[in-house]
C-alpha cells in the first residue's frame, strides 16, 4: 500500500510534490489497525491519532481515490491512501 502525507503532516508544499511512502500489509485491515500501523511508521502522526477512528477523524482524514474513509472501511494492500487535515470554515 502507498501512503501520501499532505502538509502539515508531511510531504512538500510545492504543487508538483507527489511523495508516496510504502507501507506493507499482506491482507486487508480495519481502520483502527491501520491507524496503529500508521503511528508506527509515521511517529509524527501519533499525537493526532485517538483511541477510536471516529475521534481521530477530527484530527486527520484518510482518503482513497477521492473518497473519505470512515472507521468501518477496510484498507487493502493495493490501496493508495492520502492523509490530510480536515478543513472547516465558511
User: In this predicted structure, what is the pLDDT of residue 18?
Assistant: 56
Q: Which contacts (CB < 8 Å, 24+ apart) does range 36-45 have?
A: 38/3, 38/83, 41/3, 42/3, 42/5, 42/9, 42/10, 44/9, 44/10, 45/5, 45/9, 45/83
The tens digit of pLDDT for each residue in 8-25 reads 887 665 555 558 899 999
Q: In a 3-state reduction of DSSP, which class is residue 74?
A: strand
Domain covering 2-84: architecture: Roll (3.10)
φ/ψ of 19, rounded to 5, equals -95, 115
Global pTM? 0.82
Q: In a 3-state reduction of DSSP, which class is residue 50?
A: coil
Report residue 58's pLDDT band, with 50, 70 and 90 as the boundaries. Answer: confident
Q: What does the block give as the cell for 38?
A: 500508521
Amino acid at each position: 500500500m502507498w501512503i501520501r502525507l499532505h502538509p502539515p503532516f508531511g510531504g512538500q508544499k510545492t504543487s508538483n510534490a507527489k511523495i508516496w511512502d510504502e507501507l506493507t500489509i499482506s491482507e486487508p485491515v480495519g481502520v483502527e489497525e491501520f491507524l496503529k500501523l500508521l503511528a508506527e511508521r509515521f511517529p509524527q502522526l501519533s499525537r493526532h491519532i485517538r483511541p477510536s477512528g471516529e475521534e481521530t477523524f477530527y484530527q486527520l482524514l484518510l482518503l482513497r481515490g477521492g473518497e473519505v474513509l470512515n472507521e468501518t472501511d477496510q484498507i487493502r494492500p493495493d490501496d493508495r491512501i492520502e492523509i490530510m487535515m480536515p478543513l472547516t470554515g465558511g
